[in-house]
Amino acid sequence: MKVKADILAQEQELLAVFAEVRRDNQTLRVEGLGHRLQRPAGEPATRSYSLTGWNDIVAYHPADLVVTVEAGMSVKALNRILAEHGQWIPLTVADGQDDTVGGAVSAGLDGIWRGGYGSFRDRVLGLRVLTPGFGAIQVGAAVVKNVAGYNLSRLFFGSRGTLGIITQVTLKVSPLPQSRRYWAWEGSLSEMSAKANDLMGWATPWAGIAFIADPSQKGTRLWAAWHGVAETVDYLAATKEPGSPDLPLMTRPWKPGAVTLKGAVPRKTVQDVIGVWENGLLAVEWQSGGFLGTLSEEDAPRMENWIRERSGGVAVLSGLHEDLPVPPALMPIWKRLKDAYDPQAILG
């Protein structure tokens, strides 16, 4: 575990970078493993800073199901440590990439376990953030139950580093499942939708139920995972279908597109979004409506509008994007936040 003196020294180094960027009239982009980089249509950042060296455990209390890590530690590396104590962070993104913990928070990631384990955002108990306006700040708390005041951790979740740089993340962890079982089917979209509804009659909640639409393959793939006690897994295998102890989500590696979109749609529109998604990979979690998909630069704006018109949420995760204007009702709030946390706009 990293000692406090080393943490403070790292923070002073990054604060010095803030000062240099401000002095030279530059903008700064902080990077992790680089999987989720956006390419703004305007001028790019003029300086970058990597957090991959910030990759230690700060505090870990297995009995309390709480861990605090530096932002540059990858999710897979963290899970290897947690597994020694029979625990894990259920965050697996459909494209199979390994993200840093800080990058996952900053990009607002979620994954294939959202339906069974809840959203990744709800696991974020607290953050340490370096801001140009206030220096180092601590938001949230290192406890599972925290009901006092505003949950400022959510202000930074998905903020893409525009208000401050996340340097530490405190997370709620889960016990590793005692037993796991996986199933997969392929067929028409209507057949797989009926099958997904049938699965909900088998048992609930599933660890994950995902549709995979791949333009290079015919039909739609339905993948399901059950995590729980061995008796339930054995019952499902014996009375429904045998399944498999290990079955990958994808039948081939995820192929990146020009633009990657992420978000969630109302469950009633899951079948519709699969039907209109063209010329790109798409993974949709059936229980939550969470999705990840690739598109061309031409098709991405069309799908963004389609999703918003149906009360869904969508954001560009990586690739070229146009900055969407802040809704007029939110502009005064956003301006006050930006002026307070990043008054010289060095973070873009």
Threshold 0.95, pTM exceeds? no
Domain boundary assignment for the chain: 4-175, 179-321
**pLDDT (tens digit per residue) in 295-337:** 999 999 999 999 999 999 999 998 876 655 566 788 899 899 9
Model pLDDT, residue 240 = 86
Model pLDDT, residue 343 = 95
CB atoms near residue 50 (< 10 Å): 12
Q: 4-175 architecture in CATH?
A: 2-Layer Sandwich (3.30)
Tracing tokens 């990979």 back to the chain, one arrives at: 281
Model pLDDT, residue 44 = 58
- Tokens read off for 59: 């505090």
**pLDDT (tens digit per residue) in 30-40:** 888 777 776 66
Model pLDDT, residue 168 = 96
Q: For the chain, which ranges sit under pLDDT 70?
A: 1-4, 38-45, 142-150, 321-327
Model pLDDT, residue 324 = 53
Model pLDDT, residue 141 = 73
